[in-house]
Amino acid sequence: MSSASTPESLEAPARQSMAVDIACVGFGPATAGFLTTLSRRLADAAKPPLESAASPGLPLQVVCYERADDLGFGVSGVVTRGRGLRAAFPDLDPSQIPMAAPVKDEKVLYLLDPVGASRRSAALRTGDAAIRAARFALKTDTHAVELPWTPAFLHKQGGFIFSMGQLMQWMGAQVLASGTVQIWPATPVAQALVEDGKVKGVRLLDQGVDRQGRPEGASFMPGMDVLAALTVVADGPVGAVGRQLDQALGMPEGNARRDWAVGMKFVVDLPEDTPLEPGTVLHTFGFPEPEIFGFLYVHPDRVASVGIFVPSWFESPIRTSYRYLQHYVQHPALWRYLKDAKLRSWGAKSILESGKRGEPLLAGDGFARIGEGSGSTNVLTSSGVDEAFTTGVQLGEGVIELLEAGKPLTRENLEAAYVARRRASWVEAEGRVAERARDGFQRGVATGLVGMALSGLTGGRFALGEEPPHPAEKVGTLEAFYAGKIAPEEIAAIKRDCEAKGLPLHDALMDRAGWPAVPLDGKLLVSQQDALLVGGKVQAPAGYADHVVFVRPELCQACSRRVCVEICSAEAIRPGDGGTPAFDREKCVHCGACLWSCPERIDGTDQVNLSFRAGAGGLHSAEN
């Protein structure tokens, strides 16, 4: 973090500072839960006012700083049971929120590979052959088999399909309308201000700097320090402040963030004659690679979200999302609905799948952690929004309790008022069931699926597999991944060719492995840059430093598996001079997939060679 700070100079304007009572970092479902709860109390005229300690005489000063240029630009999803949401909004009427639909129908599909290019284990291939042989009985004309039974833990009946972007805008509008709290988008937080293990507030990102963070003339404005008695850290799974606190204060014994995925999706306008009904939920596995799960959710007005998850335990060093997503939507089981669909939006984000094992210190002197960055996502039920929202509500209730009692926001008090609430709730209970549910994937897809079912059905008592290692250890080699398909000499030749042309490897290798060229049609099948611009409306304001930095260029130069280039959702990280990748901050969507894909651990520590910091800009679509 420190290399982005201001060098002292005579001309440099002084760093300004101001004080509030509560500063929140990030506006996602967790902060939405927190501020909904808090703002309702602050606006309640029947209760005694909560006074500001930072500005005596004024009401409690609560601000939220959101990195993205608007609320709802940085999020994506979702299908949820919405228990916490409905508790906070008992009259929740999905027709009031654009793109929301009650869940009507859920299916799980196993997708066979009609292309023949995916890498399938012998066991899986045998299974596929058996399915094809029984095709008349199993109706596999679309190269897919519907599971006759969906495990209960995956059910979302009684829940909702939302566009997270729209949900966040709706919640944000409600919170703002109360007039009691402020939300500031386009305001990235660079770091928390930590002193002797206590958090004093936050420091915002410097503005008016060049790509290396150096002041650029008259427009330079050092990031303001916002001092606060309580900093609510809710910046999501890849947020800079959360990770800074993990490093500065340590994580609970044995906890670490090991398991990740990047979700990439399209939002589409379905064809006029679509048979798909709003509320339809489709989950898939098996294609484009067995490791890649997918989904299709149907919103009202013939809109659908379709996407895939590329996990950190998928050891291909050329793992890439966009091309796989293009093949996914062309799978016959999906293409029957998506042919002639039009691209409306596009986005990508990382999901922290470590669950309780990725839980940081939930509270300390001057701070509390809520949301996905606090390990609240349930990896068994694949559910995170409601959990995040609920942790926010829990913190809100705890803070209100403390303020009403005039108690300071110390670690002990926050643990008693917030953490205890969380531990006593369904979020914790269900999180414990999910704790080891995905360990089986460390051994392979089949083991993983069986392990999930086992964990789910035994309430978490039994699990398969083992705890994931640091994600860098999961990155395999090209030779191993393509063993039996492409000879090592040919791989080396392709690598040399791509390097000479300055291209990433994935297209050349996937082409060679038998993945067909994608027939661009200008409707749904478009170039990655077109998806970025026309779908994601990706933009970045000028005057900010690069937020992806390669710590030791020599490590990059020696690196033989530049996964960061391959996995980058936006082609913002590209092959660069002499091996160190080039970064184009105007394309970055801040998904953070690069941060958990880098295979170069610095001196064997948990820190990798790629530093992913707070930055401005990104997606400008509120439909994801």
Partner 1 sequence: MDTVLLLTHVEGDGALPRAALEALSAARALAQGGAVSAAIFGKGAAQAAAALAGTGVTGVLTADSPELADARYGSDAAAATALAKASGAAVVVVPGTSRMLRVAAGVAERLGGRVDTHVTGVEAEGGLAVVRWYYRQRIEAKLRRKERPWILAVDPGAFQAAPAQGGATPAVQAVPLELPASAKRTAVEGFRSPASGEQTIRPDAKVLFVAGAGWTKKQADGKPHPEKAEELILAFIRTAGASLGSSKSLVDQAGEGQKVFTFMTHLNQVGQTGSTPRHAKGLATCCHGEEPHVVGWRFIRERRAVNLDANCGWARGKADVVYVADAFAVMEKVNALLKG
Partner 2 sequence: MANGFQIVVLGSIVPDPLQTLEPVATPQGPGLKNEQMLPAVLDPWAASALYEAAALAAKAPGSKVTLLSLGPKAKLQQTMMAVAQKVPFELVALDGPAGGFTDAREVAARLAAAVKALPGLDRSRLLLFGGWESASRSAGVTLQLVGEQLEIHDQFQGVDELTVGPDGALRVLERVEGGRHQVSVCPSPPAVLGWATGNLPEPKNNPQVGMANMRTVMPALQKAAAAPVGVGGVEFASVAVPKAQRETRVVKDMSPDEVARELVEWIKQD
- Contacts to partner 1 by CB under 8 A: 210-211, 216, 520, 522, 527, 529-530, 533-534, 542-543, 577, 586
- Tell me whether residue 455 or residue 569 sits nearer to partner 1 (CB atom): 569
Shorter beta-carbon distance to partner 2: residue 519 or 604: 519
Neighbour-count burial of 233, counting CB atoms closer than 10 A to its CB (0-12 exposed, 13-18 middle, 19+ buried) = buried
Enumerate residues 6+ apart whose C-beta is below 8 A from 482.
491, 509, 513
Q: Judged by CB under 8 A, which of 179, 250, 502, 514 binds partner 2?
A: 179
Q: Is 13 in the site for partner 2 (CB under 8 A)?
A: no
Where does 353-501 have alpha helices with state H?
Answer: 385-404, 411-414, 420-423, 426-434, 445-457, 478-481, 488-501
Q: Which two tokens stand for residue 343?
A: 């691209």
- The single-letter code of the amino acid at 40 is R
Q: Is 377 exposed, middle or buried (0-12, 13-18, 19+ CB in 10 A)?
A: buried
Q: What is the DSSP letter of 587?
A: T
Quick one: which H or E segment has residue 133?
helix 122-133
Size of the site for partner 2 (CB under 8 A): 44
Alpha carbon distance 593, 437 (integer Å): 22
Distance of alpha carbon 369 from alpha carbon 429, whole angstroms: 18
Q: Are 451 and 460 in contact (CB under 8 A)?
A: no
Among 6, 166, 390, 580, binds partner 2 (CB under 8 A): 166
Residue 6 or 377: the one with the smaller Cβ distance to partner 1 is: 6
Q: Which is nearer to partner 2, 62 or 393 (CB)?
A: 62
* Cα 298 from Cα 123, distance rounded (Å): 33
CA angle centred on 320, ends 297 and 371, rounded to 5°: 55
In angstroms, give the least distance from the CB of 211 to partner 1. 6
Contact with partner 2 (CB under 8 A) among 77, 98, 288, 504: 98
d(CA 532, CA 538): 6
Binder among 120, 344, 349, 613 for partner 2 (CB under 8 A): 344
**Closest CB to partner 1 among residues 131, 534:** 534
**Closest to 378 in 3D by CA, of 361, 358, 408:** 358
Which CB, 132 or 214, lies closer to partner 2?
214
DSSP state letters, 286-299: SSSSTT-EEEEEEE
Distance of alpha carbon 44 from alpha carbon 403, whole angstroms: 15
Distance CA 477, CA 481 (A): 6
Query: By CB under 8 A, is residue 621 in contact with partner 2?
Result: yes
Contact indicator for 328, 524 with CB cutoff of 8 Å: no
Report if residue 114 touches partner 2, rule: CB under 8 A: no
Q: Which is nearer to partner 2, 96 or 247 (CB)?
A: 96
| Calpha distance 588→332 (Å, rounded) | 31
Binding partner selected for residue 527 from partner 1, partner 2, none, CB under the kind-specific 5 to 8 Å limit: partner 1
The smaller minimum CB distance to partner 1, of residues 271 and 543, is found at 543
- Restricting to residues 55-84, name those near partner 2 by CB under 8 A: 61, 63, 65, 69-71, 73
Compute the least distance from the CB of residue 90 to partner 2, in Å: 22
* Residue 534 Cβ vs partner 1, minimum distance, rounded to whole Å: 5
- Footprint on residues 504-543 left by partner 2 (CB under 8 A): 533-534, 537-539, 541, 543
Residue 607: name its binding partner from partner 2, partner 1, none (Cβ under 5 to 8 Å by kind): none
Please give the single-letter amino acid code of residue 71.
L
- Of 173-181, 286-294, 413-421, 497-505, the segment contacting partner 2 by CB under 8 A is 173-181
Can you tell me which of 30, 111, 199, 226 binds partner 2, judged by CB under 8 A?
226
Residues at the contact surface with partner 2, assessed by CB under 8 A: 16, 18, 20, 61, 63, 65, 69-71, 73, 98-99, 166, 169, 172-173, 176-177, 179, 182-187, 204, 207-208, 219, 221, 224, 226, 344, 533-534, 537-539, 541, 543, 620-623
